[in-house]
Amino acid sequence: MTDLDLKQALAPLFDDEPIPTPAARRVEIGYPALRRRRTTGVAVVAAAVITGGAAIGLGSLPRGTESGGFTIRPTGKASPTVTADVTTPPASPLADALPAISLAPADATDLTERCLNSPDVTEEVKGSFFGQEGAATITAGMKTPTVTQATYSSADGTMWATCELLRGAADADLQIYTTKRDESGGLWPSLDPRCPTDTTCVKLLQLRSQLPEKVAAVRVEHRATGKGVTVRTNHGWFVAIADTPRAAADEYGAYDVEYYDAKGTTLAYIHGEIWSADPGDDSDLDGIEAYPGLDFKPEYRLGYVS
Amino acid sequence: MKRADRDAAFTAYVMARETQFRRLAFVLCGDWHRAEDLLQTAYTKLYVAWPRIQRAAAEDAYMRRILVRTNIDDSRRFWNRERPTSRHPERPMPSPDLEQAQVVLSALQRLPDMQRKAVTLRHWCDLSIAETAEALGIAEGTVKVHSNRGLNRLRELLSVDEHDHENDKELT
């Protein structure tokens, strides 16, 4: 089949295509979404000021409330959940943190085997990553009722990978990246719509990446319910997944992400939104380079490998 | 940017690109209603990000990226395993060309997600490998793999469909 074949073959489908939505209507629908984002962004900036004063001005907030859909509170601030009660020290946010690898050995083995049998990755790539002996190291991983996910590092450290297995799925989804190229960005948030078939269907708020060593733990939290998880990092590697309630197709997913150092001090804080109908789109949340206090270095951006 | 300016520029862009992107959405998901939903989602996101995207002159690339990535994840929904058909039983018999086009579209929908996206962008949109890689967020080598595998699989599916069709004719 040539290019011309496919185009010619599909051309008859457009002979009686439906009447398009007027462009003015597209604008009418878009404007409330813009207004919601602006409102949310302004509210969070105000909250940051109230809880201790922002160390940087609005002008230095990367992609501010205009288009980014998120705001960032930079280094050195107390967690917004900290209260004014001076007689009872607040519990460390790391107190309930899961280890970077909280997978049971059997789950880790099962996931790795399924990754090795992933149908969508070539044998060459799998061979170069896992080698003849399947010698890749799990750097972070966790399991929720909905999904099992881990990050891996190749034996020579030149590649990393994520692998996830949805509950009830036969095949795991393996994505391999190089640690040298600069393509995908270092942070990959996703509000995943994939649902089990039963009525307890949830969405997954998940982040996985490698962060600077100074980030000792990461918390992701669904704002509406407060459901979330705190995970420790392993030399910066982490997988954080929060099962969150199902949302309507046109709702935003509002979430908070917080990064802590080893003492539990907040290094950076993101208030973000992801379209529930548009998961996997990393354009709404900047890469780690947007965190003024994390001393971003280009090598933290990680790219795909073919 | 004032709202009036923003709206004028956005409206002009939508009017210029509506057909192109609506057809892309349709080929990606195989259904006009879902294509409309997908396109509206993409336009809404584009509207929100419009000043930044327009400054970078990246409107088309951004739209393609939203369309293919939204569709990628949307198509993973469990309910979507049931394949809807655009044919209504009471509709008049389609022309042979239209019938063949629906067979090809149906075969395209049966490809794995990334293969379908790569084939569509490369061989229906005529994007370069680099442009396809950018839209899908994958490396160029991976585009080649998905595209080649997708075309091969598409040939297989169409070959099977053609064989079945001939058998049906013999039976009748």
What pLDDT does residue A208 have?
Answer: 66
Query: Which of A11-20, A108-117, B60-69, B118-127 has the highest mean predicted lDDT (pLDDT)?
Result: B118-127
- Number of other CB atoms surrounding residue B157 within 10 Å: 18
Beta strands in A189-297 (DSSP E): 190-192, 202-210, 217-222, 228-232, 237-245, 252-260, 266-275
What pLDDT does residue B65 have?
Answer: 85
pLDDT band at B105 (very low <50, low <70, confident <90, very high): very high
Residue A298 backbone class (left: φ over 0; alpha: ψ -120 to 50; beta: rest) = alpha
> Tokens in use for B50?
């419009």
Q: By percentage, how much of chain A surpasses pLDDT 90?
A: 8
Q: Are residues B24 and B120 in contact, defined by beta-carbon separation less than 8 angstroms? A: yes
Count CA atoms within 13 Å of residue B137 on its CB side.
Answer: 20
Q: Please report residues of B whose CB lies closer than 8 A to that of A19.
A: none
Class of B1-81 per CATH?
mainly alpha
Backbone angles phi, psi at A297, to 5 degrees: -125, 145
Task: Name the residue among B27, B52, B65 with its Cβ closest to that of A67.
Answer: B52
> Tokens in use for A51?
């809880």
Q: How far apart are CA A192 and CA A247, in angstroms?
A: 11
Closest CA to A205 of A264, A151, A252: A252
Chain A residue with CA closest to B111: the answer is A120
B97 vs A: CB within 8 A: yes
Residue A235 backbone class (left: φ over 0; alpha: ψ -120 to 50; beta: rest) = left
How many beta-carbon contacts under 8 Å exist across A and B? 157
Q: What's the helix, strand, coil split of chain B in %, to 5?
A: 80, 0, 20
Closest CA to A142 of A208, A60, A65: A208
B104 vs A: CB within 8 A: yes
Q: How far apart are CA A269 and CA A256, in angstroms?
A: 7
Q: Is the pLDDT of residue A2 over 60?
A: no
Say yes or no for a CB contact (<8 Å) between B11 and A27.
Answer: yes
Q: What is the mean pLDDT of residues A23-39?
A: 62
What pLDDT does residue B127 have?
Answer: 92
Which residues contact residue A204 at a Cβ distance below 8 angstroms, ignoring those fewer than 6 apart? A144, A146, A147, A190, A191, A192, A194, A241, A242, A243, A244
A275 vs B: CB within 8 A: yes
Q: Is the pLDDT of residue B23 over 90?
A: yes
What pLDDT does residue A255 have?
Answer: 65
pLDDT tens digits, A246-279: 544 444 456 677 888 899 988 776 655 543 333 3
Q: Please report residues of A whose CB lies closer than 8 A to that of B66.
A: 278, 281, 283
What ranges do the domains of chain A cover? 69-304
Alpha-carbon distance B50 to nearest alpha carbon in chain A (angstroms) = 8
What pLDDT does residue A294 have?
Answer: 42
A35-44, A92-101, A203-212, A217-226: segment of lowest average pLDDT = A35-44
Sign of CA dihedral A125, A126, A130, A133: negative
Preferred mutation among A2, A4, A6, A65 to probe B, highest tally of B CBs within 10 A: A6
B26 vs A: CB within 8 A: yes
Q: Is the pLDDT of residue A99 over 90?
A: yes
Count CA atoms within 13 Å of residue A145 on its CB side.
Answer: 10
Please measure the distance between the N-terminal and C-terminal CA atoms of chain A and give it in whole angstroms.
Answer: 24
Q: How far apart are CA A35 and CA B56, in angstroms?
A: 22
> Tokens in use for B109?
């929908």
Residue A113 backbone class (left: φ over 0; alpha: ψ -120 to 50; beta: rest) = alpha
A233-237, A286-290, B97-101, B148-152: segment of lowest average pLDDT = A286-290
Q: Please report residues of B whose CB lies closer than 8 A to that of A6.
A: 104, 119, 123-124
Q: Is the pLDDT of residue B154 over 80?
A: yes
Q: Please report residues of A whose CB lies closer than 8 A to that of B95.
A: 12
Chain A residue with CA closest to B14: the answer is A23
- CATH for B94-172? 1.10.10.10
pLDDT band at A299 (very low <50, low <70, confident <90, very high): very low
pLDDT tens digits, B106-117: 999 888 888 899
Q: Are residues A259 and A170 in contact, defined by beta-carbon separation less than 8 angstroms? A: no
A136-140, A141-145, B56-60: segment of lowest average pLDDT = B56-60
Say yes or no for a CB contact (<8 Å) between A33 and B44.
Answer: yes
